[in-house]
Amino acid sequence: MSALPADDAAPDLLVLTTGGTIDKFYSTAGELEIREPTVGPILEQAATNLRIAVRGVLAVDSLDMTAEHRRTLTEAVAAAETARIVITHGTDTMTETAEHLLADPEAVAGKTVVLTGAMQPSCMRITDAPFNVGSAVTAAQLLDPGVYLAMSGRVFPAGTVAKDRARGVFVDR
């Protein structure tokens, strides 16, 4: 995102993107494909003066996320220059990735990491993407260090949450 000033100061918040439905588009051939991260335009519409950096780490459907992908993401969290991090992620295995991060205390030490995503692509007229990104950005500024999910209008600590697939809602586990 271009909201950062030219100096080298760390951003207030870092968004790491990994793909998932939030970044899916219908191609002209009618295929759903993952394109550029949409979190930048969502944040621009929100007109915040927070200094937010957006970094693309992966671009995968979360059902295709491998151990190697999760290692790459964990390394990006560990290397982050700010303690406040939002991760956009496919909803199908978001809880799994959150638990994976939780299991690496060194990588997340002193950091507030909030995962979010969307059930409907950001490019759709009816989508939960802006709501969820807004929830995650706010949660990341308010919560103590730890790993969390911001979905369905709630914030859950990692390890306490499941996706209710039938209803498309994240619930207490």
Evaluated on CA atoms 132, 133, 134, 140, the torsion sign reads positive
- Judged by CB under 6 A, the residue of 25, 48, 82, 92 near ligand GLU is 92
Kindly state whether residue 119 participates in binding ligand GLU, applying the rule CB under 6 A: yes
Distance CA 159, CA 139 (A): 17
| Residue 28 annotated in active site | no
Q: Which residue out of 21, 74, 112, 127 is catalytically annotated?
A: 21
How many residues lie near ligand GLU (CB under 6 A)? 11
**How would you write 157-168 as a 3-class SS string?**
ECCCEEEECCCC
| Span of 5-13, 48-56, 84-92, 149-157 interacting with ligand GLU by CB under 6 A | 84-92
Q: Would the annotation count 91 as a binding residue?
A: yes
- Judged by CB under 6 A, the residue of 63, 67, 126, 166 near ligand GLU is 63
* Structure-token pair, residue 34: 């993952």
Determine the residue type at 75: E
* Structure-token pair, residue 87: 């991760």
- Judged by CB under 6 A, the residue of 13, 17, 20, 57 near ligand GLU is 20
Beta carbons within 8 Å of 159's beta carbon, 6+ residues apart:
98, 99, 102, 173
Q: Would the annotation count 62 as a binding residue?
A: yes
Cβ distance to ligand GLU smaller for residue 97 or 111: 97
DSSP alpha helices (H): ranges in 15-158?
Answer: 39-46, 67-78, 94-102, 105-108, 129-142
Measured from the CB of residue 123, what is the shortest distance to ligand GLU in angstroms?
Answer: 13
- Judged by CB under 6 A, the residue of 61, 101, 116, 122 near ligand GLU is 61
How, if at all, do strands 13-19 and 52-60 pair? parallel
**Which residues are annotated as catalytic?**
21
Residues annotated in the binding site for substrate, as ranges?
62, 91-92
Residues annotated in the binding site, as ranges?
62, 91-92
**Contacting positions for ligand GLU (CB under 6 A):** 20-21, 61-63, 90-93, 117, 119
